[in-house]
Amino acid sequence: MSSTTDKLKGLANEAAGNIKQATGKVTGNDQLIVEGKAQELKGEAQRTVGEVKDGAAALADKITGKH
């Protein structure tokens, strides 16, 4: 998976998680709040993976002189 794909999927999961949490709070559904938080954290992790891939690629380019 490319770094851009990781970052986009991460952002989407974060957004969906936040929506679930808000819906759970409005409806008093604790399970939905927990699911939303878990999805938000998953999204943060995916986004971080994408950022790390970007950093690793930049470092590799610098080491090999491609940048």
Chain segment 37-65, per-residue pLDDT in tens: 999 999 999 999 999 999 998 888 889 98
DSSP 67: -
Residue 58's pLDDT is what?
87
**Residue 37 and residue 14: Cα distance in Å, rounded?**
9
Band (67; pLDDT cuts 50, 70, 90): low
42 φ/ψ angles, rounded to the nearest 5 degrees: -60, -45
What residue spans define the domains of the chain? 3-64
